[in-house]
Structure 1
Amino acid sequence: MQSREDTANKVLQDTDAVLIPSSNDGRIISGQGIISLEFLEQASEIDTLIVPISGGGMISGVALAAKAINPAIRILAAEPMGANNAFQSKSNGRITKLSEVNTIADGLRAFLGDLTWPIVRDLVDDVIIVDDKEIIQAMKLCYEILKIAVEPSGAIGLATVLSDGFRKNPFYSECNHIGIVLSGGNVDLGVLWNSFDK
């Protein structure tokens, strides 16, 4: 993350460009709300949305739009065990940054920001964490059954629904019509094939 920020700052200085953060920005949050609109226009019976969480931009937009349409809808965040800052933040009641992250879901290594945290705190009903093996299995199912290439960060929602932590928790027993965000196809195939062998 530090390397990314340093590189971005250098580009900004060299080009007078304007940086739009990948998650902690009102424009990003607003744009991500379209995901909820598309889900609920196509399947209005959805009672639960499961969304990957990292910096919180996507889930913030999804939560704001979905809860505006249907205040009773559940918004569940899917987070990798090795980068579970959102889970810890919700547990601690404040933004909690990790000193180290370690997950195959490299798109989910960012931290919540000052704009996304209050939305996640107030509108995300729960954060469910899964391990990398569960994420890899969900990717495999996406390839084998859905015939789509989904990166680890995008497959985490499916991993969450298939996890024991979700299926055996009575809190989720009323989740009957679930929408799962599967996003991103940036897959390093060498890493992917090696992970399937584990």
Structure 2
Amino acid sequence: MFKFNCSCSGQGTISLELLEQQVPQLDGIIVPISGGGLISGVALAAKSINPAIRIFAAEPEGANDAAQSKSAGRIITLPETNTVADGLRAFLGDLTWPVVRDLVDGVITVNDEEIINAMKLCYEILKVAVEPSGAIGLAAVLSKSFKKNSAWKDCSNIGIILSGGNVDLGILWDAYKK
């Protein structure tokens, strides 16, 4: 039994819409992760509809507390974060950690260059402006680590959660120049 707050249950409606109205054959969903609220809601709702669905967290290398936490089996808090995806700099909490620990099937980390390239693809192909934190799911799917991981090769219908259009272009361009 998981304890979760109202925002987690509200964010679970993303899964409900994807699985009930849009793409019921999804076998995986990739979600940006920071504090864990969004992915907790998505995972709880999706796995209640389809227990076999795979839920993957997408996280920047410079703020990879969820990946480290999953690996260690306990919450890891980083001394600092460094990523262009400023919306993903928060840490997992006591309410979200049990859901992430038990229901998230894997964490894919990507670097800032991969995130920026995914933002560019979203804009050029989809004509959608997303912030770095929102483009991270696409960056994860396109990453070599995702493609090479045999544990995820059985996922052929993957939903990617894109979110947020809050982009400070000055910060983004400065990060890209580094």
The TM tier, using the shorter chain, reads over 0.9
Unaligned runs of 5+ in 1: 1-23
1:131 counterpart = 2:111: yes
The TM-score normalised by the length of structure 2 is 0.95
* Higher RCO (CA-CA < 8 Å; seq separation 6+): 2
Q: How many residues align?
A: 175
Shift of 1:183: 0.3
Deviations, residues 51-105 of structure 1 (Å, cap 9, x unaligned): 0000000000000000000000000000000000000111111110000100000
Q: Residues 146 and 152 of structure 2 are in contact (CA less than 8 Å); yes or no, is this contact kept in structure 1?
A: yes
1:148 counterpart = 2:132: no
Percent identity between the aligned chains? 71
- Whole-angstrom distance in 2 between the partners of 1:196 and 1:85: 23
1:72 counterpart = 2:52: yes
State the one-letter code of the partner of 1:164: K
The RMSD of aligned alpha carbons is: 1.3
Deviations, residues 20-62 of structure 1 (Å, cap 9, x unaligned): xxxx960111111000001112100000000000000000000
1:2-13 equivalent positions in 2, closer than 5 A: none
Mark the structure with the bigger radius of gyration.
Answer: 1
Shift of 1:191: 2.2
> Please, which of 62, 66, 80 is the counterpart of residue 100 of structure 1?
80
1:21-36 equivalent positions in 2, closer than 5 A: 26-36=5-15
Unaligned runs of 5+ in 2: none
Question: Counterpart in 2 of 1:169?
Answer: 149
State the one-letter code of the partner of 1:26: N
- Whole-angstrom distance in 2 between the partners of 1:126 and 1:43: 21
SS of the aligned residue for 1:49 comes to: strand
- Whole-angstrom distance in 2 between the partners of 1:30 and 1:168: 33
Deviations, residues 87-139 of structure 1 (Å, cap 9, x unaligned): 01111111100001000000000011110000000000001100001000000
The TM-score normalised by the length of structure 1 is 0.86
Deviations, residues 150-192 of structure 1 (Å, cap 9, x unaligned): 0000000000000000011111111100000000100002223
Shift of 1:195: 4.1
State the one-letter code of the partner of 2:14: I
- Whole-angstrom distance in 2 between the partners of 1:145 and 1:158: 12
- Whole-angstrom distance in 2 between the partners of 1:194 and 1:120: 33
Q: Residues 136 and 195 of structure 1 are in contact (CA less than 8 Å); yes or no, is this contact kept in structure 2?
A: no
1:183 counterpart = 2:163: yes
1:79-98 equivalent positions in 2, closer than 5 A: 79-98=59-78
- Whole-angstrom distance in 2 between the partners of 1:143 and 1:197: 19
